[in-house]
Amino acid sequence: MPYLIGLTGQTGAGKTLVGGLLARHGCEVIDCDQISREIYLPGSPVLEKIVKRFGNDILRPDGSLDRAALAHKAFATEKDVAALNAITHPAIYQISFGRAQRAMQEGRHAVLDAAALFESNGDLICHFSIAVVAPKEVRLGRILARDDITEQAAKERMAAQKEDSFYTNRADYVIRNYPPFVLEEELQPVFAKLNN
C-alpha cells in the first residue's frame, strides 16, 4: 500500500537531504517550497493577494516576486507569518495533494516536503510524519552556506519558526541530522516501514 508521508522541520535542518534519500528509496517527493514558487509567478491570483497584503515593494520592476523583500516583511511578526500562510497554504496544498494522489495511484509512496506541515494541518491526511531536527547553530551555519542572505536575515527566518519541541512532539519519526548521528541510520525505521 502506498503511503502519504509528511516531511517537515525547521529551515536548515536538512529536509531536502532527507527528501533526496527518500526519493532514492522510490518515493515521489513533492516539494511544497517549489510549488510556492509556482504560485508566485506574475499574474497569479495568489501573488495578487500577497501584494495586496504586504505592498507593491515586494515586487521587482518586471512584476516578479522579490522573495527576500517578502521574507523581510512576512517574517517580521507572528501576525505577518500567519497572514502569509493563510494566503499561500490552501493553494500549495491543493497542488501538492493532487501530485501526491497521482503518485500513489501509480503505486508509489508520496512525500509532502512541507516546512509548515503541522501549522497547516497537512499532517492530518498523511499516514505518518517525519520531522528533521538540528541544533540552532548547525542550522544557522547551513543557511548561511546555502542562501545568499545576511546572518541577521537568517536569524529572523529561524525565529519565525517554532521550537524543536513543536516538531518532535508531533512527528511520528524524528530524524536527527547532525553529528554524531548518521542520517542513513536515523532513517532505517522509516525505510523498514516503507518496505512492509
By CB neighbour count within 10 A (0-12 exposed, 13-18 middle, 19+ buried), where does 43 fall? exposed
Burial 169-193 (b: 16+ CB within 10 A, else e): ebbbbbbbbbeeeeeeebbeebeee
Mean pLDDT, each 10-residue run in order, the chain (196 residues): 96 95 96 90 94 96 93 90 90 91 97 91 94 96 93 91 94 96 96 92
CA-CA distances (angstroms) from residue 19 to 42, 57, 60, 75, 152?
A: 28, 34, 31, 25, 27
The packing angle between helices 151-159 and 67-74, to 10°, is 50
Provide the residue ranges of all domains of the chain, joining segments of one domain with +: 4-195
pLDDT in the model for residue 36: 86
* DSSP character at residue 75: T
Distance from C-alpha of 51 to C-alpha of 169, rounded to nearest angstrom = 35
Residue of 125, 53, 50 lying closest to 91 (CA atoms)? 50
3.40.190.10, 3.40.50.300, 2.115.10.20, 1.20.1270.360: CATH of 4-195: 3.40.50.300
